[in-house]
């Protein structure tokens, strides 16, 4: 089978690009059996999924709105993983950014929107950067593993959010009621992110796409980005070459957190127009901090690849929920299905790597060196293509 | 190289096959699980979603079809079986569907919508599918609703747990005043506690969790100001293990009664069970998890609020108001575990607290307000009120009881004036109408009018609209409960069902032939449930005190067609009673307003026949024929009428649906209890002792005659084995019960 | 007042709570540690725990025997672990993402099975405190020991626990023994430190990693069972509520050593127990912020690590797929 692709490297690359999609379809195939067992017609069910994700202008807008925070988080993940650090603290960073961003809007209700919105988004960026910078410093200077610290910081963030929203930041209207729902006041309408078309699609989506290009340029066209990647590929060699490894570890996690924080601020100003909590992280974040990791991997840790990946993943989330409603199957099925898709897609990378190797055999290229920690080998191929 | 690769690939394919096998295994588990659920107990619940799923989602236009079923969608943060918040609304929707029928009411739900973005999409989607009413059952959904509702002006939305409608005309708000049941639970917990320490496990200090916890602490302190009520907020709605350990900690810190709120407390209930510590539940009934330690649950019953919203929506009113579940309107139900031996005095204290909260004389966070009786002379101005009676004011029955209630008001608010209009019925005064009578009364200055028959219910509603400044009380009505009521219309009814059960018990204790007759008026919800209560009381005592098989008990109902004899229109009650006694029945209970049963029994008793009777409504009814009178269940409207009149006079009256319980400690005192029972001279000493035992059992809650299994007359199971009927199930009893002879419709 | 914390009764209470709370972490973390020592980190622990918890609960409920339930949790956990091995070892997939996939699958699947097979929250009679069986077999033992000072107190703390708590603590020295005193342990460590060299010496890297990750899955399943049939005797959707992720974090905290993991689990659990006690004793909290207390174990874990993590070194090949001759 591989011999075939050796002869047709271009076809091989096409199959490579389609692999995540094929894997998703395979996972949905397994899902079809489960649907059948639950008494729902899989054809109708997936019809409802497609319809819910793409069926109308509104559905499409919903999909893109859901994809926006995924894309932003994924951009940060690209930077972190390229820098050789694993950031699973996106949830907490997103919340930190949302809180700081909301504070700006609550503090200056009289100021004009064209000033407050950018300031608030920058505040969100900074909030996430702080929450991502902490594990960076802990890892670089105190050898505290970032998986541990980001998990802990997620929980610290949720408790902090709960406290802030039920005490100092609570909506003054709610503060007077017995039930005291933990949410802030609605931000003044002048601060709503502008809508792009007459749907709920807001400017945040455009910002995210533009930033994808910015991150791409940053990683592959700037010295700073090069250093982060160098540290990620081989910290010892980088250190030898005079790169400050510790500083770049901090920078990678800080930037990674910053993009998650920006996602949080954009969720507030583009979608909810206030901050609220249900006591957990997922209630506000929609697990974008986790799913963003998956999206980054779907996009092969390439910021541009993350654009379609986030769109597909957003469609999957929106469509699957629509499926749940149409068929009235338990929502748990959707979670399980989500897990299957992730497993299948990440597993499909195996074939992607084999294809890549076959291409190299085809062009008689040198064998790739062993890939760095926690990064699929195939990814370094992409990286090499665009590196200077 | 390629050979090696092929080999490798084969190996991998083999492992893929293995993985596929494992998946198949996992799926097989699902399949096995799927079947029992389909046949099992969840069947009625399953019915709901399939209904909704079958409904064509896309084709149906958003426009309302008046002939089609009413469609409700609900979005909730946790699972429909969480034994807490989400289950409470799901159960209520199922109950409404059972009431209205699947052809008239269908609903769809999205559970586990803890991600607010998902919930928002769901809400929008349901709205665009043309659902008439979309419930956002979670306080975190507020911001989404605020964005979505204006886009669907034809759809009604409701936001749970708040009073804030954002001023948007198609949003309703609803909340549960969970502090009320929390207070009652606190009273019981403090009374049971010997250590003087109580433990509470909560999620986050907000919303109805905070209200409940604060209410619980307040209730406990009202019993024992020095009691320690320690609260653990664990910072999560899902961490079952931490909730359990918090409960362990509380027990370690000396707590000997525990409570908690939200879905993660299932862990804490297990700890209560292991330590044998009483547990108090809230939101849904948690008795099933630990029948040995759960004492009482505050159950959220949303059916009343939802019915009101549904009625409003049908009438084109899509939102703008907020509703609260309270003890007063029956939305909060104190559900006692029948298997927990709660001391009678504790139960009485709890009932008293619940009644005081419901009556508005006790504010949970404000302490006890000054007793109205003391306040009355100072603030209450004399009042002119109307009293419309269906029969004559001296009928020794229903109308006289109401009349005397009015008299009680006049006696207690000096200078007040009662305008009485008696015998408003087509037979006696065919030309008179409720509207005409009310016109006259208002002209004479009445600011409060009691219409004292369910016959007047519809007319009362229409005149209430005509005179918005006059307060109307439709006695025995349910307008407030169903939501039809205007803001100046309230409902009062005594909980006569309990007294009828006592009457039934007395009859069963006395019958020699084993045949009891019931002289019924006309057939409606009220008369069905009263008759059924009498039957259940009779059945209980026949089995438990007489030691007979309840299946041998004959219980026949004969409906005459109205509340009293109208010659030529109704059956003649004299003939009906005579017929009962001629055909082997030796005890007759009266359900009508007049006294024929006791009259005839008195005559035949005087001739030496061993017959007995139980009259109705009026305290002194036994005086007619003491020798054959087993006792009388009576209404005492005085206390509640006085309270209403005072509230109207001072401008503090609020519409409510009050189903007033008995004051069990003062069952024979008409100045204190709303409904009562007095023993008649015909009871032997032994019977009286047994009857007292039965009454004590009912007072403490140990005996609940409405405990399943109870089947309807046609054999349909109504109350499951071990369950007890809710207020709604009693109030809206659709048929007589299995074992009763007589027509149901 | 804060001094209320330092009474004997409260200290015993904190100890008892801490011992109990640490139990699921020990199972899951020790299992995860084996996987990580051999080079594979599995973020799916939480999902496997949920599946194990459900399997144990359902089987115990159906057959009335908690040992069968425990067996079911081991089997289900192993299957999930095997799946993780296949994805991360054979298919060499990125481990963090694979783990997230396993987590989501377990989260959804356990909930789905729960809804279809049980339908409502129920309780089960799982493992009882050991005092129950001790009192049955040696009726005089516990009352006799209770009289002795100190020992009596210790015995009473221990007797309140169930058998799975003891198993969890017993696992630690066993894990240490396997890791440092057996050939198997050597192979595992070699696979995680220098797989190429180990491979050259004839150690099958993939077989070793399959074994450790599958074992880790089984232990995660047992951790779930320790909740559903020993400590809580109840199953609910998402009942682990992030516990599995903490278990993964504790492996890092413990520096990939069994006793380090034990220390981390106990520290974390004791601090959690202390915060519960502070609330239960009504000790005033600044600003009425119970959240500050709830954060305590998480903040403290990080702080302790700042002062101790300098010496730790993670397995060199952790997270790196191994390919022969690559």
CA angle, B194 then B198 then B202, to 5°: 165
Of B454, B401, B405, the closest CA to residue B621 belongs to B401
The angle subtended at Cα A356 by Cα A353 and Cα A358, nearest 5°, is 110
Do A280 and B110 make contact, defined as CB atoms within 8 angstroms? no
- Whether pLDDT at B115 is above 70: yes
Q: Does residue B31 sit within a domain?
A: no
- Give the chain C residue nearest B82 (alpha carbons): C121
The conformation of residue A193, written as its DSSP 8-state character, comes to P
Please indicate, yes or no, whether residues B529 and B586 belong to a single structural domain of this protein. yes
When pLDDT is averaged across residues B339-357 and rounded to a whole number, the result is 91
Domain membership flag for residue A147: yes
| pLDDT category of residue B519 using cuts at 50, 70 and 90 | very high
Number of domains in chain A: 2
Whether B134 and B230 share a structural domain: no
Pairing label, strands B612-614, B657-660: unpaired
Could you tell me if B504 and B415 lie in one domain?
Answer: no
Closest CA in chain A for residue B53: A327
Whether chain B has a CB inside 8 Å of the CB on A332: the answer is: yes
Mean predicted confidence (pLDDT) in B622-640 = 87
Ordered by where they begin, the domains of chain C are 2-127+162-311 (1.10.3470)
Q: Which helix (H) or strand (E) holds B122?
A: helix B116-128
Same-domain status, B402 and B537: no
B236 CA: distance to closest CA in chain A (Å) = 6
Q: What is the pLDDT of residue C178?
A: 96
Assess whether A219 and A350 both reside in one domain. Answer: no
- Chains A, C: CB contacts within 8 A come to 164
Is C279 near chain A, with CB under 8 Å?
no
Task: Say yes or no for a CB contact (<8 Å) between B138 and A34.
Answer: no
CATH of the domain at B580: 3.40.50.2300
Q: Indicate whether A91 and A185 sit together in one domain.
A: yes
Per the listing, tokens 């630690």 go with C172
Residues B353 and B402 in one domain: no
Model pLDDT for residues A37-90, shown as the tens digit of each residue: 988 999 999 999 999 999 888 889 999 999 999 999 999 999 999 999 999 999
From CA C84, how far away is CA C219, in angstroms rounded?
Answer: 14
Do A192 and A129 lie in one domain? The reply is yes
Count CB neighbours of B226 within 10 A: 6
pLDDT above 90 covers what percent of chain B? 31
Residue B374 has pLDDT above 60, yes or no: no
Residues A102 and A233 both lie in one domain = yes
Q: For chain B, list the contacting chains (3+ Cβ pairs, <8 Å).
A: A, C
B379 conformational bin, left if phi > 0, alpha if psi -120 to 50, beta if neither:
alpha
- Range of the structural domain that residue A88 is part of: 69-316
**B36 belongs to a structural domain:** no
Over residues B397-445, the pLDDT tens digits come to 788 888 888 888 888 887 788 888 888 887 788 888 888 888 888 888 8
The CATH number linked to A185 is 1.10.3470
Give the integer Cα–Cα distance in Å for B560 and B743.
Answer: 11
pLDDT at res. C151: 83
Same-domain status, A195 and A312: yes
Give the model confidence (pLDDT) of A79-130 as tens digits. Answer: 999 999 999 999 999 999 999 999 999 999 999 999 999 999 999 999 999 9
Give the tens place of pLDDT for each residue, B667-684. 888 878 888 898 888 888
pTM score: 0.71
Find the mean pLDDT for residues C219-229: 97
Number of domains in chain B: 4
Q: Strand pairing partners for B228?
A: B197
Specify whether B92 is located in the same domain as B140. Answer: yes
> Are residues A36 and A154 part of one domain?
no
Q: How far is CA C225 from CA A82, C58, C222, C230, in A?
A: 38, 10, 5, 7
Q: Does B249 touch chain C (CB under 8 A)?
A: yes
Task: Tell whether A155 and A7 lie within a shared domain.
Answer: no
pLDDT of residue B17: 55
Assign A377 a pLDDT band (cuts: 50, 70, 90): very low
Which residue in C has a C-alpha nearest to residue A86's C-alpha? C96
Residue B68: the pLDDT is 81
The pLDDT, as a whole number, for residue B5 is 53
Burial of A210 (0-12, 13-18, 19+ CB in 10 A): exposed
Q: Which of C24, C116, C284, C293 to mutate to test the interface with B (most CBs of B within 10 A)?
A: C116
B215 and B79 co-located in one domain: no
Instruction: Write out the two tokens for B203.
Output: 């999620």
- Substitution target in B11, B35, B240 with the highest count of C β-carbons within 10 Å is B240
Q: Give yes or no: residues A236 and A278 share one domain.
A: yes
Q: Is residue B18 part of a domain?
A: no
Q: Residues A348-373: pLDDT tens digits? A: 888 888 887 777 665 544 444 333 33
Best of C255, C299, C302 to disrupt the A interface (most A CBs within 10 Å) is C302
Q: Are residues B200 and B272 in the same domain?
A: yes
Q: What's residue C249's pLDDT?
A: 92
Residue A136 predicted with pLDDT over 50: yes
- The answer as to whether A83 is a domain residue is yes
User: Residue A335's closest chain B neighbor by CA?
Assistant: B112
Q: Clarify whether residues B482 and B573 are in a common domain.
A: no
Backbone angles phi, psi at C235, to 5 degrees: -125, 140
Residue-level pLDDT at B61: 40
Interatomic CA distance for residues C100 and C43, integer angstroms: 6
User: Angle at Cα B515 formed by Cα B511 and Cα B521, nearest 5°?
Assistant: 105
Same domain, residue pair B474 and B549: no
Using CB atoms, which residue from C107, C249, C299 is nearest to A147?
Answer: C249
Angle at which helix A288-298 crosses helix C95-117, to 10 degrees, equals 130
Please report whether residue B140 resides in a domain. yes
Q: Does residue A324 form part of some domain? A: no
* Judgement on whether residues A96 and A9 belong to the same structural domain of the protein: no
C-alpha A46/C-alpha A32 separation (Å) is 8
Out of A378-382, B51-55, C124-128, give the one with best mean pLDDT. C124-128
Q: In this prediction, what percent of chain A has a pLDDT beyond 70?
A: 90
Task: Note the pLDDT tens digit of each residue in A2-34.
Answer: 566 666 667 777 777 788 888 889 999 999 999
* A322: in domain: no
- Which residue, among B670, B663, B658, B643, has the nearest Cα to B351 in the 3D structure? B663
Quickly state the pLDDT bin for C166 (edges 50, 70, 90): very high
pLDDT of residue B218: 93
Chains that touch C (3 or more CB pairs under 8 A): A, B
So what's the pLDDT on residue C170? 96
Residues B581 and B668 in one domain: yes
pLDDT of residue A376: 37
Whether the predicted pLDDT of B37 surpasses 50: no
Is B286 in a helix, a strand, or coil? coil
B417-421/B384-388 β-pairing? parallel
Q: Report whether B238 contacts B210 (CB < 8 A).
A: no
Q: Are residues A84 and A158 in the same domain?
A: yes
Structural domain ending residue among the three candidates B452, B474, B494: B494
Instruction: Tell me, yes or no, whether A243 lies in a domain.
Output: yes
Contact B25 C276 (CB under 8 A): no
Confidence of residue B82 (pLDDT cuts 50, 70, 90): confident
Q: Identify whether residues A260 and A199 lie together within a single domain.
A: yes
A346 touching chain B per CB within 8 A: no
* DSSP designation for B68: S
The verdict on a CB contact (< 8 Å) between C301 and A152 is yes
Is residue A55 domain-resident? no
Q: Do A198 and A282 belong to one domain?
A: yes
The domain boundary residue, chosen from A316, A342, A371: A316
Give the pLDDT confidence score for residue A4 in this predicted structure.
63
Domain that holds residue B140: 44-177+304-313+318-325
CA of C322: which chain A residue's CA is closest?
Answer: A370
Segment among A158-172, B186-200, B391-405, C190-204 with least mean pLDDT: B391-405
B400 contacts chain C (CB < 8 A): no
Residues of C in contact with A86 (CB under 8 A): 96, 319
Q: Which of A286, A316, A346 is the endpoint of a domain?
A: A316
Q: Are residues B360 and B400 in the same domain?
A: no
Q: Residue B106 and residue A115: Cα distance in Å, rounded?
A: 49
Residue C54 C-alpha, separation from nearest chain A C-alpha, in angstroms:
14
Residues of A in contact with B52 (CB under 8 A): 328
In a domain, A192, yes or no: yes
> What pLDDT, on the 0 to 100 scale, is given for residue B54?
37
Cα separation, A148 vs C251, whole angstroms:
9
Domain end: A288, A316, A344, which one?
A316
Note whether B79 contacts C115, CB cutoff 8 Å. Answer: yes
B37 Cβ under 8 Å from any chain C Cβ = yes
Task: Taking the CA atoms of B232, B237, B242 and B247 in sequence, report the sign of the dihedral they define.
Answer: positive
**Cα–Cα separations (whole angstroms), residue B666 to B342, B431, B500, B619, B661:** 20, 42, 17, 14, 12
Nearest-CA distance from B11 to chain A in Å? 14
């Amino acid at each position: 089978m591989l011999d075939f692709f050796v002869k047709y490297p271009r076809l091989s690359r096409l199959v490579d690009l389609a692999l995540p999609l094929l894997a998703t379809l395979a996972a949905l195939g397994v899902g079809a059996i489960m649907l059948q067992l639950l008494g729902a017609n899989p054809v109708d069910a997936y019809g409802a999924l497609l319809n819910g994700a793409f069926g109308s202008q509104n559905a499409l807008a919903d999909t893109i709105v859901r994809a926006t925070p995924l894309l932003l988080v994924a951009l940060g993940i690209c930077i972190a993983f390229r820098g050789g650090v694993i950031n699973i603290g996106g949830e907490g960073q997103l919340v930190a950014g949302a809180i700081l961003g909301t504070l700006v809007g609550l503090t200056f209700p009289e100021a004009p929107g064209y000033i407050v919105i950018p300031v608030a988004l920058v505040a969100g960026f900074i909030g996430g950067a702080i929450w991502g910078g902490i594990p960076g410093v802990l890892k670089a200077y105190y050898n505290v593993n970032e998986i541990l610290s980001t998990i802990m910081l997620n929980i610290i963030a949720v408790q902090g959010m709960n406290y802030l929203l039920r005490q100092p930041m609570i909506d003054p209207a709610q503060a007077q009621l017995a039930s005291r729902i933990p949410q802030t006041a609605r931000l003044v309408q002048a601060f709503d992110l502008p809508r792009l078309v007459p749907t709920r699609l807001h400017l945040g989506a455009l910002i995210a796409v533009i930033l994808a290009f910015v991150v791409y340029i940053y990683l592959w066209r700037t010295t700073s980005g090069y250093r982060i990647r160098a540290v990620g590929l081989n910290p010892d060699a980088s250190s030898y070459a005079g790169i400050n490894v510790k500083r770049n570890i901090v920078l990678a996690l800080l930037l990674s957190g910053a993009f998650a924080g920006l996602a949080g601020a954009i969720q507030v100003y583009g979608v909810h127009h206030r901050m609220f909590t249900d006591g957990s992280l997922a209630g506000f974040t929609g697990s974008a901090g986790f799913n963003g990791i998956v999206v980054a991997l779907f996009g092969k840790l390439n910021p541009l690849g993350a654009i379609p990946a986030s769109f597909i993943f957003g469609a999957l989330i929106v469509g699957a929920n629509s499926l749940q409603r149409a068929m009235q199957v338990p929502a748990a099925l959707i979670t399980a299905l989500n897990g299957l898709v992730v497993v299948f897609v990440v597993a499909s990378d195996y074939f992607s790597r084999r294809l890549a190797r076959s291409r190299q055999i085809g062009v008689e290229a040198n064998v790739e060196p062993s890939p760095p920690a926690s990064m699929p080998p195939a990814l370094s191929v992409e990286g090499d293509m665009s590196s200077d | 190289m390629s050979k090696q690769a092929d080999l490798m690939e084969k190996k991998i394919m083999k492992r893929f096959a293995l993985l596929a096998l494992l998946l198949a295994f996992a799926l097989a588990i699902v399949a096995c699980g799927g079947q029992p659920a389909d046949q099992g107990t969840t069947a009625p619940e399953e019915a709901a979603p399939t209904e909704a799923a079958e409904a064509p989602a896309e084709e149906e236009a958003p426009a309302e079809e008046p002939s089609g079923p009413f469609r409700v969608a609900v979005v909730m943060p946790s699972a429909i079986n969480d034994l807490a918040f989400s289950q409470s609304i799901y159960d209520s929707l199922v109950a409404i569907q059972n009431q209205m029928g699947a052809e008239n009411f269908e609903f769809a739900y999205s559970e586990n919508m803890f991600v607010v973005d998902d919930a928002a999409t769901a809400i929008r989607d349901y709205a665009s599918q043309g659902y008439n009413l979309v419930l956002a059952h979670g306080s975190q959904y507020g911001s989404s609703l605020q964005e979505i509702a204006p886009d669907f002006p034809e759809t009604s939305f409701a936001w749970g747990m708040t009073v804030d409608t954002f001023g948007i005309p198609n949003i309703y708000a609803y909340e549960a005043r969970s502090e009320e049941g929390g207070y009652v639970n606190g009273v019981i917990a403090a009374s049971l506690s010997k250590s003087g320490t109580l433990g509470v496990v909560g999620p986050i200090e907000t919303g109805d969790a905070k209200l409940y916890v604060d209410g619980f602490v307040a209730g406990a302190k009202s019993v024992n100001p020095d009691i320690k009520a320690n609260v653990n907020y664990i910072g999560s709605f899902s961490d079952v293990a931490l909730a359990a350990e918090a409960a362990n900690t509380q027990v370690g810190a000396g707590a000997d009664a525990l409570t908690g709120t939200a879905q993660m407390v299932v862990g804490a209930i297990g700890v209560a069970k292991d330590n044998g510590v009483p547990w108090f539940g809230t939101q849904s009934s948690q008795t099933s998890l630990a029948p040995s330690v759960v004492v009482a649950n505050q159950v959220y019953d949303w059916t009343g609020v939802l019915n009101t919203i549904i009625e409003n929506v049908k009438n084109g009113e899509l939102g703008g108001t907020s509703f609260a579940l309270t003890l007063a309107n029956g939305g909060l139900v104190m559900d006692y575990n029948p298997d927990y031996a709660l001391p009678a005095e504790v139960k009485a204290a709890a009932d008293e607290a619940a009644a005081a909260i419901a009556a508005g004389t006790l504010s949970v966070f404000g302490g006890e307000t000054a007793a109205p009786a003391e306040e009355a002379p100072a603030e209450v101005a004399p009042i002119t009120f109307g009293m419309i009676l269906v029969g004559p004011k001296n009928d020794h029955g229903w109308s006289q009881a109401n009349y005397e209630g009015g008299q009680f008001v006049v006696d207690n608010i000096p200078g007040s004036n009662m305008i009485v209009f008696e015998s408003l019925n087509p037979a006696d005064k065919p030309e008179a109408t409720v509207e005409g009578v009310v016109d006259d009364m208002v002209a004479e200055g009445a600011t409060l009018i009691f219409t004292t028959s369910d016959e007047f219910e519809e007319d009362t509603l229409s005149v209430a609209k005509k005179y918005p400044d006059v307060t109307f009380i439709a006695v025995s009505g349910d307008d407030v409960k169903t939501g039809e009521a205007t803001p100046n219309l309230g409902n009062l009814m005594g909980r006569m069902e309990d007294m009828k059960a006592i009457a039934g018990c007395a009859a069963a204790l006395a019958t020699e032939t084993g045949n009891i007759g019931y002289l019924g008026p006309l057939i409606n919800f009220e008369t069905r449930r009263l008759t059924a209560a009498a039957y259940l009381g009779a059945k209980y005592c026949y089995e438990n005190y007489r030691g007979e098989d309840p299946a041998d008990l004959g219980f026949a109902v004969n409906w005459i067609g109205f509340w009293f004899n109208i010659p030529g229109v109704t059956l003649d009650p004299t003939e009906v009673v005579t017929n009962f006694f001629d055909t082997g029945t030796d005890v007759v209970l009266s359900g009508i307003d007049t006294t024929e049963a006791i009259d005839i029994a008195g005559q035949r008793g005087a001739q030496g026949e061993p017959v007995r009777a139980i009259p109705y409504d009026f305290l002194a009814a036994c005086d007619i024929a003491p020798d054959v009178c087993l006792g009388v269940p009576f209404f005492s409207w005085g206390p509640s009428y006085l309270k209403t009149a005072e509230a109207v006079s001072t401008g503090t009256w609020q519409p409510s649906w009050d189903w007033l319980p008995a004051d069990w400690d003062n069952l024979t005192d008409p100045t204190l209890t709303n409904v009562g029972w007095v023993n008649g001279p015909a009871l032997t000493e032994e019977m009286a002792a047994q009857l007292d035992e039965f009454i004590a059992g009912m007072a403490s809650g140990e005996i609940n005659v409405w405990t399943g299994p109870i089947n309807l007359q046609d054999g349909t199971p109504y109350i499951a084995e071990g369950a007890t009927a809710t207020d709604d199930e009693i109030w809206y009893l659709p048929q007589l019960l299995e074992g009763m002879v007589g027509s149901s419709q | 007042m804060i001094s209320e914390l330092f009474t004997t009764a409260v200290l015993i209470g904190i100890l008892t709570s801490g011992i109990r709370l640490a139990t699921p972490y020990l199972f899951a973390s020790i299992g995860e540690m084996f996987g990580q020592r051999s080079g594979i980190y599995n973020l799916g622990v939480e999902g496997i725990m949920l599946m194990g918890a459900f399997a144990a609960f359902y089987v115990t409920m159906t057959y009335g025997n908690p040992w069968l339930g425990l067996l079911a949790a081991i089997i289900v956990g192993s299957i999930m672990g095997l799946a993780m091995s296949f994805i991360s070892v054979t298919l060499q997939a990125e481990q963090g993402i694979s783990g997230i996939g396993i987590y989501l699958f377990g989260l959804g699947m356990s909930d789905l099975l729960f809804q279809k097979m049980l339908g409502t929250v129920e309780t089960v009679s799982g493992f009882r405190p050991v005092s129950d069986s001790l009192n049955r077999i040696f009726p005089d033992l516990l009352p006799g020991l209770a009289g002795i000072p100190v020992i009596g107190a210790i015995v009473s703390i221990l007797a309140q626990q169930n058998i799975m708590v003891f198993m969890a603590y017993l696992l630690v020295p066993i894990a240490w023994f396997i890791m440092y005193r057996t050939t198997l342990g050597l192979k595992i460590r070699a696979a995680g430190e220098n797989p190429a060299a180990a491979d050259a010496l004839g150690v099958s890297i993939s077989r070793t990693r399959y074994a450790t990750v599958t074992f880790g899955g089984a232990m995660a399943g047992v951790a779930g069972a320790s909740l559903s049939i020993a400590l809580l005797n109840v199953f609910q959707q998402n009942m682990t509520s992030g516990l599995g992720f903490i278990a993964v974090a504790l492996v890092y905290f413990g520096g990939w050593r069994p006793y380090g993991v034990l220390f981390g689990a106990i520290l974390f659990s004791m601090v959690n127990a202390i915060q519960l006690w502070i609330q239960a004793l009504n000790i005033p909290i600044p600003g009425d912020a119970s959240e500050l207390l709830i954060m305590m174990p998480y903040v403290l874990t990080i702080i302790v690590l700042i002062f101790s993590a300098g010496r730790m070194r993670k397995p060199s090949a952790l997270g790196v797929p191994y390919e022969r001759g690559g």
